[in-house]
A and B are shown apart, each in its own frame.
Chain A
Amino acid sequence: MIDPAFIQGLIKILFVVVVITAAYIISTRNLLSLVSVYALQSLSLVLIALALYSIEGAPVLLAIAAITFASKVLIIPYFIATIQEKVRIRRDIEFHFLSPTTSLIISMGLMLVIYIALSKILAGTHARESFLFFGAVLGISLMLMGMMVTFSRKRAITKVLGYLTMENGVLLFGLFVTELPFIIEFLIIIDLVIVVLLTTILTVGIDSTLEDYHKRLHRFHLWEEEERP
Protein backbone atom coordinates (compact mmCIF):
# COMPACT_ATOMS: atom_id res chain seq x y z
CA MET A 1 0.00 0.00 0.00
CA ILE A 2 1.39 3.36 -1.00
CA ASP A 3 1.25 6.25 1.41
CA PRO A 4 -1.77 8.49 0.55
CA ALA A 5 0.21 11.63 1.44
CA PHE A 6 2.78 10.66 -1.18
CA ILE A 7 0.01 10.15 -3.75
CA GLN A 8 -1.44 13.55 -2.90
CA GLY A 9 1.97 15.14 -3.39
CA LEU A 10 2.26 13.35 -6.71
CA ILE A 11 -1.15 14.58 -7.84
CA LYS A 12 -0.23 18.14 -6.93
CA ILE A 13 2.93 17.89 -9.01
CA LEU A 14 0.87 16.55 -11.90
CA PHE A 15 -1.43 19.60 -11.52
CA VAL A 16 1.63 21.75 -12.03
CA VAL A 17 2.54 19.78 -15.15
CA VAL A 18 -0.97 20.39 -16.48
CA VAL A 19 -0.68 24.13 -15.78
CA ILE A 20 2.70 24.34 -17.47
CA THR A 21 1.53 22.45 -20.55
CA ALA A 22 -1.58 24.63 -20.76
CA ALA A 23 0.54 27.78 -20.64
CA TYR A 24 2.75 26.32 -23.33
CA ILE A 25 -0.20 25.41 -25.56
CA ILE A 26 -1.51 28.94 -25.27
CA SER A 27 1.72 30.69 -26.05
CA THR A 28 3.84 28.54 -28.35
CA ARG A 29 4.14 29.07 -32.05
CA ASN A 30 5.85 25.81 -32.87
CA LEU A 31 3.32 23.26 -34.04
CA LEU A 32 5.52 20.20 -33.78
CA SER A 33 6.09 20.64 -30.07
CA LEU A 34 2.44 21.65 -29.60
CA VAL A 35 1.29 18.12 -30.37
CA SER A 36 3.83 16.46 -28.09
CA VAL A 37 2.95 18.89 -25.30
CA TYR A 38 -0.70 17.99 -25.76
CA ALA A 39 0.23 14.31 -25.50
CA LEU A 40 2.19 15.09 -22.33
CA GLN A 41 -0.81 16.89 -20.86
CA SER A 42 -3.04 13.92 -21.61
CA LEU A 43 -0.45 11.59 -20.13
CA SER A 44 -0.42 13.56 -16.90
CA LEU A 45 -4.23 13.29 -16.81
CA VAL A 46 -3.85 9.53 -17.18
CA LEU A 47 -1.40 9.51 -14.28
CA ILE A 48 -3.76 11.63 -12.17
CA ALA A 49 -6.57 9.15 -12.85
CA LEU A 50 -4.30 6.24 -11.90
CA ALA A 51 -3.21 8.01 -8.71
CA LEU A 52 -6.84 8.68 -7.81
CA TYR A 53 -7.58 5.03 -8.46
CA SER A 54 -4.92 4.01 -5.97
CA ILE A 55 -6.64 6.19 -3.34
CA GLU A 56 -10.32 5.61 -4.12
CA GLY A 57 -10.24 2.28 -5.90
CA ALA A 58 -13.15 2.98 -8.23
CA PRO A 59 -12.71 0.83 -11.36
CA VAL A 60 -14.24 3.54 -13.55
CA LEU A 61 -11.09 5.60 -12.98
CA LEU A 62 -9.02 2.76 -14.33
CA ALA A 63 -11.23 2.56 -17.41
CA ILE A 64 -10.97 6.33 -17.94
CA ALA A 65 -7.20 6.13 -17.62
CA ALA A 66 -7.02 3.32 -20.16
CA ILE A 67 -9.27 4.97 -22.72
CA THR A 68 -7.58 8.35 -22.31
CA PHE A 69 -4.20 6.76 -22.78
CA ALA A 70 -5.24 4.92 -25.90
CA SER A 71 -7.04 7.82 -27.54
CA LYS A 72 -5.38 11.01 -26.39
CA VAL A 73 -1.82 9.91 -25.84
CA LEU A 74 -1.49 7.59 -28.81
CA ILE A 75 -4.14 7.85 -31.52
CA ILE A 76 -5.03 11.55 -31.68
CA PRO A 77 -1.47 12.90 -31.48
CA TYR A 78 -0.51 10.36 -34.15
CA PHE A 79 -3.25 11.61 -36.48
CA ILE A 80 -2.39 15.23 -35.94
CA ALA A 81 1.29 14.55 -36.49
CA THR A 82 0.35 12.85 -39.75
CA ILE A 83 -1.67 15.85 -40.85
CA GLN A 84 1.23 18.10 -40.06
CA GLU A 85 3.55 16.04 -42.14
CA LYS A 86 1.15 16.23 -45.06
CA VAL A 87 0.45 19.93 -44.77
CA ARG A 88 3.99 20.92 -43.86
CA ILE A 89 2.92 23.66 -41.51
CA ARG A 90 5.61 24.07 -38.89
CA ARG A 91 4.54 27.12 -37.03
CA ASP A 92 1.46 29.12 -36.32
CA ILE A 93 2.28 32.77 -36.07
CA GLU A 94 -1.08 34.31 -36.64
CA PHE A 95 -3.46 35.10 -33.86
CA HIS A 96 -6.91 36.63 -33.94
CA PHE A 97 -8.04 38.91 -31.17
CA LEU A 98 -5.48 37.93 -28.53
CA SER A 99 -1.71 37.74 -28.55
CA PRO A 100 -0.20 34.91 -26.49
CA THR A 101 0.89 37.33 -23.78
CA THR A 102 -2.60 38.74 -23.39
CA SER A 103 -4.11 35.27 -23.35
CA LEU A 104 -1.75 34.24 -20.56
CA ILE A 105 -2.66 37.27 -18.48
CA ILE A 106 -6.36 36.75 -19.14
CA SER A 107 -6.17 33.08 -18.21
CA MET A 108 -4.57 34.13 -14.93
CA GLY A 109 -7.58 36.33 -14.22
CA LEU A 110 -9.88 33.49 -15.26
CA MET A 111 -8.25 31.13 -12.78
CA LEU A 112 -8.69 33.64 -9.97
CA VAL A 113 -12.35 34.24 -10.83
CA ILE A 114 -13.04 30.53 -11.09
CA TYR A 115 -11.31 29.90 -7.80
CA ILE A 116 -13.45 32.46 -6.01
CA ALA A 117 -16.64 31.35 -7.76
CA LEU A 118 -16.08 27.66 -7.10
CA SER A 119 -15.18 28.18 -3.48
CA LYS A 120 -18.54 29.96 -3.04
CA ILE A 121 -20.47 27.33 -4.99
CA LEU A 122 -18.87 24.34 -3.30
CA ALA A 123 -18.72 25.94 0.17
CA GLY A 124 -19.55 23.42 2.87
CA THR A 125 -19.44 20.38 0.61
CA HIS A 126 -16.92 17.62 0.81
CA ALA A 127 -15.22 18.72 -2.38
CA ARG A 128 -14.33 22.17 -0.99
CA GLU A 129 -12.37 20.74 1.87
CA SER A 130 -10.28 18.19 0.06
CA PHE A 131 -7.06 18.97 -1.79
CA LEU A 132 -8.85 17.96 -4.98
CA PHE A 133 -10.61 21.32 -5.00
CA PHE A 134 -7.69 22.83 -6.84
CA GLY A 135 -8.08 20.10 -9.45
CA ALA A 136 -11.63 21.23 -10.10
CA VAL A 137 -10.51 24.85 -10.45
CA LEU A 138 -7.79 23.74 -12.80
CA GLY A 139 -10.27 21.68 -14.80
CA ILE A 140 -12.58 24.59 -15.53
CA SER A 141 -9.65 26.93 -16.17
CA LEU A 142 -8.17 24.46 -18.62
CA MET A 143 -11.53 24.30 -20.36
CA LEU A 144 -11.66 28.08 -20.75
CA MET A 145 -8.01 28.26 -21.76
CA GLY A 146 -8.75 25.70 -24.47
CA MET A 147 -11.63 27.86 -25.60
CA MET A 148 -9.28 30.82 -25.78
CA VAL A 149 -6.89 28.81 -27.95
CA THR A 150 -9.80 27.87 -30.20
CA PHE A 151 -10.80 31.41 -30.90
CA SER A 152 -7.43 33.12 -30.83
CA ARG A 153 -5.63 30.86 -33.28
CA LYS A 154 -6.17 31.14 -36.99
CA ARG A 155 -5.14 27.76 -38.33
CA ALA A 156 -7.64 24.93 -38.25
CA ILE A 157 -5.08 22.55 -36.86
CA THR A 158 -4.41 24.64 -33.76
CA LYS A 159 -8.11 25.24 -33.32
CA VAL A 160 -8.52 21.49 -33.06
CA LEU A 161 -5.80 21.39 -30.44
CA GLY A 162 -7.66 24.06 -28.49
CA TYR A 163 -10.78 21.96 -28.64
CA LEU A 164 -8.85 18.93 -27.42
CA THR A 165 -7.44 20.96 -24.53
CA MET A 166 -10.98 21.97 -23.61
CA GLU A 167 -11.94 18.33 -23.45
CA ASN A 168 -8.96 17.62 -21.18
CA GLY A 169 -10.35 20.30 -18.88
CA VAL A 170 -13.75 18.62 -18.81
CA LEU A 171 -12.09 15.33 -17.99
CA LEU A 172 -10.06 16.89 -15.18
CA PHE A 173 -13.12 18.53 -13.68
CA GLY A 174 -15.04 15.27 -14.00
CA LEU A 175 -12.32 13.38 -12.20
CA PHE A 176 -12.48 15.58 -9.16
CA VAL A 177 -15.92 16.93 -8.52
CA THR A 178 -18.64 14.87 -10.11
CA GLU A 179 -18.50 11.34 -11.36
CA LEU A 180 -19.16 11.67 -15.04
CA PRO A 181 -20.89 8.51 -16.19
CA PHE A 182 -18.35 6.45 -18.05
CA ILE A 183 -20.54 6.20 -21.13
CA ILE A 184 -20.48 9.99 -21.57
CA GLU A 185 -16.73 10.06 -21.21
CA PHE A 186 -16.54 7.33 -23.83
CA LEU A 187 -18.83 9.18 -26.23
CA ILE A 188 -16.84 12.39 -25.86
CA ILE A 189 -13.68 10.58 -26.76
CA ILE A 190 -15.31 9.02 -29.80
CA ASP A 191 -16.39 12.51 -30.81
CA LEU A 192 -12.84 13.70 -30.45
CA VAL A 193 -11.48 10.94 -32.62
CA ILE A 194 -14.08 11.76 -35.25
CA VAL A 195 -13.19 15.46 -35.13
CA VAL A 196 -9.56 14.65 -35.65
CA LEU A 197 -10.36 12.19 -38.44
CA LEU A 198 -12.53 14.79 -40.14
CA THR A 199 -9.71 17.29 -39.92
CA THR A 200 -7.42 14.76 -41.51
CA ILE A 201 -9.81 14.13 -44.36
CA LEU A 202 -10.56 17.79 -44.89
CA THR A 203 -6.92 18.64 -44.80
CA VAL A 204 -5.46 16.01 -46.99
CA GLY A 205 -8.44 15.57 -49.26
CA ILE A 206 -10.05 12.32 -50.25
CA ASP A 207 -9.63 12.67 -53.97
CA SER A 208 -6.88 15.18 -54.28
CA THR A 209 -5.52 16.27 -57.56
CA LEU A 210 -2.85 18.83 -56.95
CA GLU A 211 -5.02 21.88 -57.74
CA ASP A 212 -7.87 20.53 -55.76
CA TYR A 213 -5.61 19.92 -52.83
CA HIS A 214 -4.35 23.48 -52.78
CA LYS A 215 -7.83 24.91 -53.17
CA ARG A 216 -8.99 22.86 -50.23
CA LEU A 217 -6.11 23.99 -48.12
CA HIS A 218 -6.93 27.58 -48.91
CA ARG A 219 -10.57 27.14 -48.19
CA PHE A 220 -9.93 25.76 -44.72
CA HIS A 221 -7.21 28.27 -43.87
CA LEU A 222 -4.71 25.50 -43.47
CA TRP A 223 -2.34 26.95 -45.97
CA GLU A 224 -1.84 30.64 -46.50
CA GLU A 225 0.88 32.14 -48.59
CA GLU A 226 3.55 33.47 -46.29
CA GLU A 227 4.33 36.55 -48.37
CA ARG A 228 1.09 38.40 -48.84
CA PRO A 229 1.23 41.94 -50.25
Chain B
Amino acid sequence: MNGFLLYLVLNTLVVLAIAPLFVSLIKKVKARTQGRSGPSVFQTYYNLAKLLKKEVIYSPNSSRIMRVAPIVNMAALLVAALFVPLVFVPEPLGGIGNIILFLYLLALAKFFMALAGLDAGSSFGGMGSSREMSISAIIEPTTIIVFAALVFVFKSLNIFDMFATSAAAGTLATPVLILLGISLFIILIVETSRLPVDNPETHLELTMIHEGMILEQSGRNLALMELSAAVKLTLLMAILINLIVPFGLMTTFTLAGLLIAALLFVVKGSILAGIIGLFESSTAKMRFFRLPSLFAMAFFFSTLIIIIEVFA
Protein backbone atom coordinates (compact mmCIF):
# COMPACT_ATOMS: atom_id res chain seq x y z
CA MET B 1 0.00 0.00 0.00
CA ASN B 2 2.77 2.40 0.93
CA GLY B 3 4.69 1.37 -2.13
CA PHE B 4 1.67 2.18 -4.26
CA LEU B 5 1.34 5.62 -2.69
CA LEU B 6 5.00 6.21 -3.39
CA TYR B 7 4.42 5.17 -7.00
CA LEU B 8 1.50 7.61 -7.28
CA VAL B 9 3.56 10.54 -6.06
CA LEU B 10 6.72 9.69 -7.98
CA ASN B 11 5.00 8.89 -11.26
CA THR B 12 3.09 12.17 -11.22
CA LEU B 13 6.21 14.16 -10.42
CA VAL B 14 8.22 12.43 -13.15
CA VAL B 15 5.50 13.04 -15.73
CA LEU B 16 5.34 16.72 -14.78
CA ALA B 17 9.10 17.05 -14.84
CA ILE B 18 9.72 15.32 -18.14
CA ALA B 19 6.74 16.53 -20.19
CA PRO B 20 8.16 19.95 -21.17
CA LEU B 21 11.42 18.30 -22.23
CA PHE B 22 9.71 16.20 -24.91
CA VAL B 23 7.82 19.24 -26.21
CA SER B 24 11.03 21.20 -26.59
CA LEU B 25 12.78 18.23 -28.16
CA ILE B 26 10.13 18.05 -30.88
CA LYS B 27 10.55 21.79 -31.49
CA LYS B 28 14.32 21.39 -31.61
CA VAL B 29 14.14 18.59 -34.19
CA LYS B 30 11.72 20.58 -36.32
CA ALA B 31 14.01 23.63 -36.15
CA ARG B 32 17.00 21.55 -37.18
CA THR B 33 15.20 20.11 -40.22
CA GLN B 34 14.39 23.67 -41.26
CA GLY B 35 18.04 24.64 -40.94
CA ARG B 36 17.62 26.71 -37.79
CA SER B 37 19.45 25.95 -34.59
CA GLY B 38 16.21 26.24 -32.60
CA PRO B 39 15.54 27.08 -28.95
CA SER B 40 17.34 25.30 -26.13
CA VAL B 41 15.79 22.04 -24.97
CA PHE B 42 14.94 23.73 -21.67
CA GLN B 43 13.02 26.57 -23.33
CA THR B 44 9.60 25.16 -22.44
CA TYR B 45 10.60 25.11 -18.75
CA TYR B 46 11.65 28.76 -18.98
CA ASN B 47 8.40 29.67 -20.71
CA LEU B 48 6.33 27.94 -18.06
CA ALA B 49 8.33 29.60 -15.26
CA LYS B 50 7.81 32.99 -16.88
CA LEU B 51 4.09 32.44 -17.39
CA LEU B 52 3.63 31.34 -13.78
CA LYS B 53 4.95 34.70 -12.59
CA LYS B 54 2.66 36.74 -14.82
CA GLU B 55 -0.67 38.25 -13.95
CA VAL B 56 -3.91 36.56 -15.06
CA ILE B 57 -6.28 38.71 -17.07
CA TYR B 58 -9.86 37.66 -17.69
CA SER B 59 -12.06 39.04 -20.41
CA PRO B 60 -15.04 40.95 -18.94
CA ASN B 61 -17.34 38.62 -20.89
CA SER B 62 -15.95 35.48 -19.38
CA SER B 63 -17.71 33.49 -16.72
CA ARG B 64 -16.68 31.09 -14.00
CA ILE B 65 -15.83 28.45 -16.62
CA MET B 66 -12.79 30.43 -17.68
CA ARG B 67 -11.44 30.39 -14.11
CA VAL B 68 -12.17 26.72 -13.51
CA ALA B 69 -11.23 25.23 -16.88
CA PRO B 70 -7.41 25.29 -16.60
CA ILE B 71 -7.54 23.68 -13.18
CA VAL B 72 -10.05 21.00 -14.19
CA ASN B 73 -8.00 20.35 -17.30
CA MET B 74 -4.76 19.93 -15.39
CA ALA B 75 -6.42 17.87 -12.67
CA ALA B 76 -8.00 15.47 -15.18
CA LEU B 77 -4.65 14.95 -16.89
CA LEU B 78 -2.80 14.48 -13.62
CA VAL B 79 -5.29 11.79 -12.59
CA ALA B 80 -4.84 10.26 -16.05
CA ALA B 81 -1.09 10.38 -15.40
CA LEU B 82 -1.59 7.98 -12.49
CA PHE B 83 -2.92 5.44 -14.97
CA VAL B 84 0.22 5.27 -17.11
CA PRO B 85 3.29 3.99 -15.30
CA LEU B 86 6.36 5.41 -16.98
CA VAL B 87 9.16 3.22 -15.65
CA PHE B 88 7.80 1.01 -12.88
CA VAL B 89 4.64 -1.09 -13.06
CA PRO B 90 3.20 -1.90 -9.63
CA GLU B 91 0.18 -4.11 -8.97
CA PRO B 92 -2.92 -2.13 -9.95
CA LEU B 93 -5.08 -1.00 -7.05
CA GLY B 94 -8.65 0.24 -6.77
CA GLY B 95 -9.59 0.79 -10.39
CA ILE B 96 -6.54 2.86 -11.22
CA GLY B 97 -5.33 1.96 -14.67
CA ASN B 98 -8.71 1.20 -16.22
CA ILE B 99 -8.35 2.12 -19.87
CA ILE B 100 -11.94 3.28 -20.37
CA LEU B 101 -11.69 5.64 -17.41
CA PHE B 102 -8.40 6.86 -18.87
CA LEU B 103 -10.11 7.75 -22.16
CA TYR B 104 -12.92 9.53 -20.33
CA LEU B 105 -10.43 11.58 -18.33
CA LEU B 106 -8.80 12.71 -21.56
CA ALA B 107 -12.23 13.53 -22.96
CA LEU B 108 -13.12 15.51 -19.81
CA ALA B 109 -9.98 17.61 -20.17
CA LYS B 110 -10.74 18.21 -23.81
CA PHE B 111 -14.34 19.16 -23.05
CA PHE B 112 -13.33 21.79 -20.54
CA MET B 113 -10.72 23.17 -22.88
CA ALA B 114 -13.38 23.58 -25.57
CA LEU B 115 -15.75 25.24 -23.08
CA ALA B 116 -13.03 27.68 -22.10
CA GLY B 117 -12.48 28.45 -25.77
CA LEU B 118 -16.16 29.36 -26.15
CA ASP B 119 -16.46 31.14 -22.83
CA ALA B 120 -14.50 34.31 -23.54
CA GLY B 121 -16.72 35.05 -26.51
CA SER B 122 -13.89 35.69 -28.94
CA SER B 123 -14.51 34.37 -32.41
CA PHE B 124 -11.12 32.64 -32.65
CA GLY B 125 -11.77 30.67 -29.49
CA GLY B 126 -15.17 29.68 -30.78
CA MET B 127 -13.71 28.52 -34.09
CA GLY B 128 -11.04 26.55 -32.25
CA SER B 129 -13.59 24.84 -30.03
CA SER B 130 -15.88 24.10 -32.93
CA ARG B 131 -13.06 22.50 -34.92
CA GLU B 132 -11.74 20.59 -31.95
CA MET B 133 -15.17 19.14 -31.24
CA SER B 134 -15.75 18.22 -34.90
CA ILE B 135 -12.42 16.41 -34.98
CA SER B 136 -13.13 14.74 -31.64
CA ALA B 137 -16.46 13.49 -32.90
CA ILE B 138 -14.66 11.67 -35.70
CA ILE B 139 -11.56 10.60 -33.83
CA GLU B 140 -13.31 9.27 -30.71
CA PRO B 141 -14.67 6.11 -32.37
CA THR B 142 -11.24 5.48 -33.85
CA THR B 143 -9.59 5.99 -30.46
CA ILE B 144 -12.05 3.60 -28.86
CA ILE B 145 -11.39 0.99 -31.55
CA VAL B 146 -7.61 1.35 -31.19
CA PHE B 147 -7.81 0.93 -27.44
CA ALA B 148 -10.25 -1.95 -27.89
CA ALA B 149 -7.60 -3.56 -30.08
CA LEU B 150 -5.12 -3.04 -27.23
CA VAL B 151 -7.55 -4.75 -24.89
CA PHE B 152 -7.93 -7.68 -27.30
CA VAL B 153 -4.20 -8.07 -27.79
CA PHE B 154 -3.19 -7.83 -24.14
CA LYS B 155 -6.34 -9.50 -22.77
CA SER B 156 -6.87 -6.91 -20.07
CA LEU B 157 -8.76 -3.67 -19.50
CA ASN B 158 -6.07 -2.38 -17.20
CA ILE B 159 -3.12 -0.41 -18.52
CA PHE B 160 -0.90 -1.76 -15.70
CA ASP B 161 -1.62 -5.34 -16.74
CA MET B 162 -0.96 -4.49 -20.38
CA PHE B 163 2.41 -2.99 -19.53
CA ALA B 164 3.27 -5.98 -17.34
CA THR B 165 2.35 -8.40 -20.16
CA SER B 166 4.36 -6.53 -22.74
CA ALA B 167 7.34 -6.20 -20.35
CA ALA B 168 7.23 -9.94 -19.67
CA ALA B 169 7.00 -10.81 -23.37
CA GLY B 170 9.61 -8.23 -24.28
CA THR B 171 9.26 -9.06 -27.97
CA LEU B 172 9.94 -6.53 -30.63
CA ALA B 173 8.11 -6.38 -33.95
CA THR B 174 5.40 -8.96 -33.94
CA PRO B 175 2.98 -8.24 -36.79
CA VAL B 176 0.17 -7.19 -34.47
CA LEU B 177 2.43 -4.80 -32.58
CA ILE B 178 3.54 -3.09 -35.80
CA LEU B 179 -0.08 -2.40 -36.73
CA LEU B 180 -0.83 -1.28 -33.19
CA GLY B 181 2.19 1.00 -33.22
CA ILE B 182 1.00 2.74 -36.38
CA SER B 183 -2.54 3.16 -35.02
CA LEU B 184 -1.29 4.50 -31.69
CA PHE B 185 1.03 6.88 -33.49
CA ILE B 186 -1.86 8.31 -35.50
CA ILE B 187 -3.92 8.69 -32.31
CA LEU B 188 -0.96 10.41 -30.67
CA ILE B 189 -0.65 12.86 -33.54
CA VAL B 190 -4.34 13.68 -33.60
CA GLU B 191 -4.95 13.87 -29.86
CA THR B 192 -2.03 16.20 -29.26
CA SER B 193 -2.93 18.48 -32.18
CA ARG B 194 0.22 17.86 -34.18
CA LEU B 195 0.93 18.66 -37.76
CA PRO B 196 -1.24 16.99 -40.35
CA VAL B 197 -4.21 17.86 -38.12
CA ASP B 198 -3.26 21.13 -36.47
CA ASN B 199 -0.17 23.25 -36.57
CA PRO B 200 1.08 23.90 -33.03
CA GLU B 201 3.34 26.70 -34.23
CA THR B 202 0.99 29.14 -35.91
CA HIS B 203 -1.49 31.60 -34.57
CA LEU B 204 -3.22 32.07 -37.89
CA GLU B 205 -6.97 32.18 -37.53
CA LEU B 206 -7.45 29.92 -40.50
CA THR B 207 -5.56 26.96 -39.19
CA MET B 208 -5.43 26.96 -35.43
CA ILE B 209 -7.39 24.50 -33.37
CA HIS B 210 -5.65 23.94 -30.07
CA GLU B 211 -4.02 27.37 -30.04
CA GLY B 212 -7.37 28.96 -30.82
CA MET B 213 -8.95 27.51 -27.72
CA ILE B 214 -6.26 28.75 -25.36
CA LEU B 215 -5.91 32.14 -27.01
CA GLU B 216 -7.77 33.92 -24.22
CA GLN B 217 -5.77 32.32 -21.43
CA SER B 218 -3.02 34.22 -19.74
CA GLY B 219 -0.53 33.98 -16.90
CA ARG B 220 -0.59 30.86 -14.77
CA ASN B 221 -3.78 29.64 -16.47
CA LEU B 222 -1.95 29.59 -19.78
CA ALA B 223 0.94 27.82 -18.09
CA LEU B 224 -1.47 25.17 -16.81
CA MET B 225 -2.96 24.72 -20.28
CA GLU B 226 0.46 24.40 -21.90
CA LEU B 227 1.67 22.01 -19.24
CA SER B 228 -1.45 19.87 -19.51
CA ALA B 229 -0.96 19.61 -23.27
CA ALA B 230 2.64 18.50 -22.64
CA VAL B 231 1.47 15.96 -20.05
CA LYS B 232 -1.05 14.54 -22.51
CA LEU B 233 1.71 14.17 -25.11
CA THR B 234 3.94 12.43 -22.60
CA LEU B 235 1.19 10.02 -21.49
CA LEU B 236 0.35 8.95 -25.03
CA MET B 237 4.04 8.63 -25.85
CA ALA B 238 4.53 6.50 -22.74
CA ILE B 239 1.71 4.16 -23.78
CA LEU B 240 3.24 3.77 -27.22
CA ILE B 241 6.76 3.22 -25.87
CA ASN B 242 5.87 0.84 -23.07
CA LEU B 243 3.68 -1.34 -25.28
CA ILE B 244 5.80 -1.47 -28.42
CA VAL B 245 9.39 -1.30 -27.09
CA PRO B 246 9.00 -2.35 -23.46
CA PHE B 247 12.56 -3.52 -22.78
CA GLY B 248 13.91 -2.06 -19.55
CA LEU B 249 10.41 -1.55 -18.12
CA MET B 250 10.53 -2.60 -14.49
CA THR B 251 7.93 -4.86 -12.87
CA THR B 252 9.64 -5.71 -9.57
CA PHE B 253 11.13 -2.84 -7.66
CA THR B 254 14.90 -2.43 -7.36
CA LEU B 255 16.74 0.85 -7.09
CA ALA B 256 19.26 0.02 -9.81
CA GLY B 257 16.47 -1.19 -12.06
CA LEU B 258 14.58 2.04 -11.45
CA LEU B 259 17.55 4.15 -12.54
CA ILE B 260 18.20 2.07 -15.66
CA ALA B 261 14.50 2.06 -16.55
CA ALA B 262 14.23 5.81 -16.07
CA LEU B 263 17.30 6.42 -18.20
CA LEU B 264 16.03 4.07 -20.92
CA PHE B 265 12.63 5.76 -20.85
CA VAL B 266 14.16 9.18 -21.39
CA VAL B 267 16.26 7.83 -24.26
CA LYS B 268 13.30 6.05 -25.88
CA GLY B 269 11.10 9.09 -25.34
CA SER B 270 13.68 11.36 -26.94
CA ILE B 271 13.92 9.05 -29.94
CA LEU B 272 10.13 9.02 -30.28
CA ALA B 273 10.07 12.82 -29.94
CA GLY B 274 12.65 12.95 -32.73
CA ILE B 275 10.46 10.70 -34.89
CA ILE B 276 7.43 12.91 -34.23
CA GLY B 277 9.50 15.97 -35.14
CA LEU B 278 10.68 14.39 -38.39
CA PHE B 279 7.16 13.23 -39.22
CA GLU B 280 5.84 16.74 -38.66
CA SER B 281 8.57 18.22 -40.80
CA SER B 282 7.83 15.85 -43.65
CA THR B 283 4.10 16.49 -43.96
CA ALA B 284 2.00 19.49 -44.75
CA LYS B 285 -1.16 20.30 -42.89
CA MET B 286 -4.10 18.36 -44.27
CA ARG B 287 -7.27 20.02 -45.37
CA PHE B 288 -9.94 19.76 -42.72
CA PHE B 289 -12.23 17.50 -44.68
CA ARG B 290 -9.37 15.21 -45.66
CA LEU B 291 -8.67 14.32 -42.06
CA PRO B 292 -11.04 11.34 -41.90
CA SER B 293 -8.80 9.42 -44.29
CA LEU B 294 -5.98 9.70 -41.74
CA PHE B 295 -8.23 8.37 -38.99
CA ALA B 296 -9.57 5.69 -41.29
CA MET B 297 -6.05 4.29 -41.53
CA ALA B 298 -5.86 3.82 -37.74
CA PHE B 299 -9.40 2.47 -37.73
CA PHE B 300 -8.58 -0.01 -40.49
CA PHE B 301 -5.44 -1.33 -38.80
CA SER B 302 -7.06 -1.68 -35.38
CA THR B 303 -10.08 -3.45 -36.77
CA LEU B 304 -7.72 -5.76 -38.59
CA ILE B 305 -6.00 -6.50 -35.28
CA ILE B 306 -9.34 -7.29 -33.66
CA ILE B 307 -10.26 -9.57 -36.57
CA ILE B 308 -6.92 -11.35 -36.28
CA GLU B 309 -7.23 -11.69 -32.51
CA VAL B 310 -10.81 -12.91 -32.59
CA PHE B 311 -10.63 -15.33 -35.51
CA ALA B 312 -7.05 -16.51 -35.79
Contact = CB atoms under 8 A, between A and B. Distances in A.
Contacts of B292: 101
Nearest to A133: B312
A135 to B, nearest CB: 12
Interface residues of B, number: 19
Q: Tell me whether chain B's interface is mostly helix, strand or loop, or mixed.
A: helix
A9 interface: yes
Nearest to A14: B175
B307 interface: yes
B174 A27 contact: no
Q: Which of A20, A101, A105 is the most central at the interface, judged by chain B CB atoms within 10 Å of its CB?
A: A101
Given A100-B293, A101-B292, A23 B300 contact: yes
B174 A107 contact: no
A108 interface: yes
A163 interface: no
Given A19-B304, A108-B304, A111-B304, A9 B174 contact: yes
A104 interface: yes
Nearest to B302: A108
B175 A20 contact: no
B16 interface: no
A180 interface: no
A99 B291 CA distance: 12
Contacts of A32: none
A107 B301 CA distance: 11
A115 B307 contact: yes
Given A19-B304, A134-B312, A27 B296 contact: yes
A112 interface: yes
Interface string A11-33: 01101100110010001000000
A143 B308 CA distance: 19
Contacts of B174: 9, 12-13
A14 to B, nearest CB: 9
Contacts of A119: 311
Interface in B277-312: 292-293, 296-297, 299-301, 303-304, 307-308, 311-312
B299 A105 contact: yes
Interface residues of A, number: 21
A115 B297 CA distance: 20
B264 interface: no
Interface string A182-201: 00000000000000000000
A112 to B, nearest CB: 6
A136 to B, nearest CB: 13
A16 B177 CA distance: 10
A115 B301 contact: no
Interface string B153-174: 0000000000000000000011
Interface of A: 9, 12-13, 15-16, 19-20, 23, 27, 99-101, 104-105, 107-108, 111-112, 115, 119, 134
16 contacts: A13-B174, A13-B175, A15-B175, A19-B179, A19-B304, A20-B178, A20-B301, A23-B300, A23-B301, A27-B297, A101-B293, A104-B293, A105-B300, A108-B304, A108-B307, A115-B311
Interface of B: 173-175, 178-179, 182, 292-293, 296-297, 299-301, 303-304, 307-308, 311-312
Given A16-B179, A20-B301, A23-B301, 17 more contacts: A13-B174, A15-B175, A16-B175, A16-B178, A20-B178, A23-B297, A23-B300, A27-B297, A101-B292, A104-B300, A105-B296, A105-B300, A108-B307, A112-B307, A115-B307, A115-B311, A119-B311
